[in-house]
Amino acid sequence: MSSKQSYRGPGSGGLAIETAGLVKTFGDNRAVDGVDLAVPAGTVYGLLGPNGAGKTTTVKMLATLLRPDGGEAHVFGHDVVRAADTVRGLVSLTGQYASVDEDLTGTENLVLLARLTGHGKKAAYSRAEQLLDAFGLGDAASRQVKNYSGGMRRRIDIAASILNTPDLLFLDEPTTGLDPRSRNQVWDIVRAVVGHGTTVLLTTQYLDEADQLAARIAVIDKGKVIAEGTKGELKASVGAGSVHVRLRHAEQRPQAEEVLRIALDAEVKIEPDPVALTARVGGGAANGQGAAEQASRALAELARTGITVDNFSLGQPSLDEVFLALTGHPSDPEPPSGPGAPQDLKEAEVSR
């Protein structure tokens, strides 16, 4: 991939994506309900939400695959409805499911797509070889894709999306169903793509994925953006930190829960681990104490009541805790599966 600067269209103000009141309905279902986004160029922007939240529908509208029913959306300053052809020339999209031909080899897939997007024969083979090597698929270039692992399929799918380096790449849940090693490999690829000037809009259900990759995150639930900011801002919005406690004796947990609830003036979460508890603390409770002072006082209260603590820590809240606080329910890490899955996005567009 050659180094490049992201194109900034007229009126974009350095934004790759700008939406105002974006709406999409399907019958009585308001799948996207007034979404406002401002995505800076040259970054990874995370669209985080559970299955059915409206993430994929939003991506489809931005990629010109669906026409909005209300509001406006611009990609590098170009209206996605009035200038759809121009937008298609700036973007590429990789959906939740691999779109390459499983009966072709890795090289054959990339060469075919390169020829379809305007490369000459020699240039197509050169670009295919370059991408296969860059994505760690050189040794598998002559193997049929049906013999690739899940992680290898996602890598070649992303490679297909950047045969012509796009200004904006939509990645719709790119690591769905992958093992941790394959997910890390895909994350490295995303970072490399952004390093060469492409803006990435990443939709995901995985909180750690958004935490690892995204410079800014919009949390979407039931078709609405309910929070937006850097991960630090989102975490700070629900409290200054979280107290994590592991007891020596499980039978002391009910008493420890009550002590922590009073000392921290906060709800205490009972963890699956029978000796663990967690509580979120604010920057200043009613008594004016800071998070660290509150945590120290809670630890002293536990000791005073004879409760033995094996481990006690104060840390920034996780995105999981942020999501729970914002939506009232935990994130759903399980992806949809099969051709009938809600908001299924199988297309992988190579638009350049």
**What is the CA angle 181-57-213, rounded to 5?**
30
User: How large a percentage of the chain has pLDDT more than 70?
Assistant: 84
* pLDDT for the residue numbered 185: 87
* pLDDT for the residue numbered 235: 76
Q: Is 310 left (phi over 0), alpha (psi -120 to 50) or beta?
A: alpha
Q: Coil, strand, or helix at residue 140? A: helix
* pLDDT for the residue numbered 282: 64
pLDDT digits (tens, 9 = 90+) for 181-218: 888 888 999 999 999 999 999 998 887 888 899 999 99
pLDDT digits (tens, 9 = 90+) for 116-170: 988 999 999 999 999 999 889 999 999 999 999 988 998 999 999 888 889 999 9
DSSP category for residue 243 = E
Say how many CA atoms lie within 13 Å of 133 toward its Cβ: 7
> What is the rounded radius of gyration, in angstroms, for the C-alpha atoms of the chain?
23
* pLDDT for the residue numbered 231: 84
Contact by Cβ (8 Å): 206, 333: yes
Give the separation between CA 129 and CA 95, rounded to whole angstroms. Answer: 23
Give the separation between CA 334 and CA 326, rounded to whole angstroms. Answer: 19
pLDDT digits (tens, 9 = 90+) for 77-94: 999 999 999 999 999 998
pLDDT digits (tens, 9 = 90+) for 219-245: 999 999 999 999 888 877 766 677 889
Q: Residue 112, Cβ neighbours under 10 Å: how many?
A: 16
